[in-house]
């Protein structure tokens, strides 16, 4: 059976999407699952954090090839579709949307998902065709930095999903993951409360703390689950979040 994708998306810069996509991909691969991580951000942050040069033809390949995609093998069980790191990603999505509609990426992903247990897509912050078509490709996990501005961006995500549904395309939020939480700061605590008021049962119980381990692991390209970060709370919080997400995926959602 082809893997059900997880679309990591939130239309606000710096909300923890890339950190979350990479942490989940690494944790699942370490647990013996075969994982494909797809970098859908023209900024190519995930590609860079994983030490891979931007892949010039990846997006075009993704949308236009009928056969299997050539992903970069980071390990036996963790493969990456790199972002080209320029405007060609959005151009390829625009073209596919024009020619084949909003579900073109969902179909491309389905062809590639064969052979993987999990497919994780890391979206960029903008809500252009690339992100919109990604939102149509599977259940959305939205990392939400616990700040007022990030919580205020939630209606933009909801509006994009509503627009897809009006166009007859299935799309939904699987879960909201509070990230970069600074529990000692009033603004952070209030934003977490506001997120729970809006997202209710979709807000995961796990909260990812603001943590230098996360920032350093991304900057240095080292797994957050490396022994050097053992004393940090962040890897444990990410494992708890992943457990919740996987069980929600198994139960299914409307
Ligand atoms: N839990 C955390 N604690 C501390 N720093 C974090 C945490 N999560 C992410 N960061 C840092 O915050 C910045 C933004 O994180 P990240 O790149 O994951 O966000 P993003 O949502 O993918 O951003 P963009 O919208 O630009 O793609 C990065 O420098 C990252 O290292
Ligand atoms: Mg990112």
- Closest ligand 1 atom to residue 19 Cα is 18
Distance 226 CA to ligand 2 centre (A): 21
Nearest CA to ligand 1 atom 25: 13
Complete DSSP assignment for 154-219: HHHHHHHHHHHHHTT----EEEEEEESB-TTSHHHHHHHHHHHHHHGGGB-S--PBP-HHHHHHHH
Contact 203, 170 (CB under 8 A): no
Answer yes or no: is 254 within a domain: no
Question: Is residue 75 assigned to a domain?
Answer: yes
Overall average pLDDT of the 4-24 stretch: 97
Q: What is the pLDDT of residues 44-81, one digit of tens each?
A: 999 999 999 887 566 666 676 545 566 889 999 999 99
CA 148 vs. chain centroid, Å, equals 21
- 14 CA → ligand 1 middle, Å: 5
Q: Whose atoms come closest to the Cα of 218: which ligand? A: 1
Identify whether 71 is part of a domain.
yes
Q: Is the dihedral of CA 248, 25, 58, 93 positive or negative?
A: positive
- Angstrom distance (rounded) from CA 109 to CA 38: 9
pLDDT digits (tens, 9 = 90+) for 121-131: 999 999 999 99
For range 221-233, the mean pLDDT:
96
CA–CA dist 78, 35 (Å, integer): 5
The reply to whether 50 falls in a domain is: yes
Q: Tell whether the model's pLDDT for residue 203 goes beyond 90.
A: yes
Q: Is residue 188 part of a domain?
A: yes
- How many domains does one find in the chain? 1
Q: Name the token pair of 43.
A: 């900024």
Our answer on whether the CB atom of 39 is closer than 6 Å to any ligand 1 atom is no
Helix (H) / strand (E) containing 237: helix 234-251
CA angle in degrees (0–180, nearest 5) for 103-109-113? 150
Answer yes or no: is 212 within a domain: yes
Range of 48's domain?
Answer: 5-249
Of the given ranges (70-79, 182-191, 206-215, 241-250), which has the lowest mean pLDDT? 70-79
Mean pLDDT of 217-228: 96
CATH number of domain containing 100: 3.40.50.300
Q: Dump pLDDT digits (tens) for 80-114.
A: 999 988 888 899 899 899 999 999 999 988 888 88
64 belongs to a structural domain: yes
Task: Ligand 1, residue 123: give the atom nearest the CA.
Answer: 27
Substitution candidate for ligand 1 out of 83, 180, 224 with most atoms within 8 A of CB? 180
| Residue 147: inside a domain | yes
Work out which ligand 1 atom sits closest to the CA atom of 210: 3
Cβ 125 under 6 angstroms from ligand 1 = yes
Paired sense of beta strands 118-123 and 35-40, if any: parallel
Q: Is 199 near ligand 1, meaning CB less than 6 Å away? A: no
């Amino acid at each position: 059976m082809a893997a059900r994708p997880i679309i990591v998306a939130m239309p606000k810069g710096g909300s923890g999407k890339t950190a979350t996509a990479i942490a989940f991909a690494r944790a699942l691969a370490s647990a013996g699952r075969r994982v494909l991580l797809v970098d859908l951000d023209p900024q190519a942050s995930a590609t860079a954090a994983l030490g891979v040069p931007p892949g010039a033809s990846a997006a075009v390949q993704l949308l236009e090839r009928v056969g299997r995609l050539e992903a970069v093998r980071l390990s036996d069980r963790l493969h990456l579709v790199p972002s080209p790191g320029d405007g060609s990603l959005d151009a390829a999505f625009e073209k596919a949307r024009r020619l084949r509609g909003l579900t073109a990426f969902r179909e491309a992903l389905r062809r590639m998902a064969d052979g993987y247990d999990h497919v994780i897509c890391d979206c960029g912050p903008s809500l252009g065709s690339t992100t919109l078509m990604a939102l149509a490709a599977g259940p959305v996990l939205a990392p939400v930095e616990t700040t007022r501005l990030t919580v205020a961006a939630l209606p933009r995500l909801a509006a994009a999903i509503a627009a897809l549904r009006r166009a007859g395309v299935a799309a939904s939020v699987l879960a909201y993951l509070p990230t970069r939480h600074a529990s000692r700061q009033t603004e952070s605590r209030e934003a977490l409360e506001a997120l729970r008021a809006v997202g209710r049962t979709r807000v995961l119980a796990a909260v990812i703390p603001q943590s230098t381990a996360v920032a350093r692991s991304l900057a240095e390209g080292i797994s957050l689950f490396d022994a050097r970060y053992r004393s940090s709370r962040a890897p444990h919080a990410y494992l708890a979040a992943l457990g919740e997400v996987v069980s929600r995926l198994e139960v299914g959602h409307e």
